[in-house]
């Protein structure tokens, strides 16, 4: 699990072809992120990050729901 720290050396380049990508090299870990058309690269990356965080929040909520449901089943001693 790679940690990202503020101030860490990072290389970012933009590759433009049929689509545009931000090519990120963070301490040897490389990631390419497709950029949204009609937005600046930085705006596109911020929107991408926001989208991922919204998805993560949904996954977190469903994970919590599953754990609570498991606890409810155990407290009632319900089996499959």
| pLDDT at position 2 over 70 | no
30-72 tens-digit pLDDT = 999 999 999 999 999 999 999 999 999 999 999 999 999 999 9
- Please tell me the predicted confidence (pLDDT) of residue 34: 97
Model's pTM, two decimal places? 0.76
- Please tell me the predicted confidence (pLDDT) of residue 68: 96
Residues with Cβ within 8 Å of residue 21, at least 6 apart in sequence: 14, 15, 32, 33, 34, 35
Which of 23, 29, 31, 22 is closest to 8 using CA atoms?
A: 29
Which band of pLDDT confidence, cut at 50, 70 and 90, is reported for residue 8?
Answer: low
Which band of pLDDT confidence, cut at 50, 70 and 90, is reported for residue 1?
Answer: low
Q: Are 11 and 25 in contact (CB under 8 A)?
A: yes
């Amino acid at each position: 699990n790679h940690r990202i720290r503020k101030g860490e050396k990072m290389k970012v380049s933009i590759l433009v072809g049929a689509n545009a990508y931000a090519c990120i090299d963070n301490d040897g870990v490389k990631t390419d992120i497709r950029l949204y058309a009609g937005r600046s690269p930085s705006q596109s990356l911020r929107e991408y990050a926001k989208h991922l965080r919204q998805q993560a929040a949904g996954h977190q909520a469903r994970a919590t729901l599953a754990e609570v449901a498991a606890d409810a089943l155990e407290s009632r001693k319900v089996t499959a």
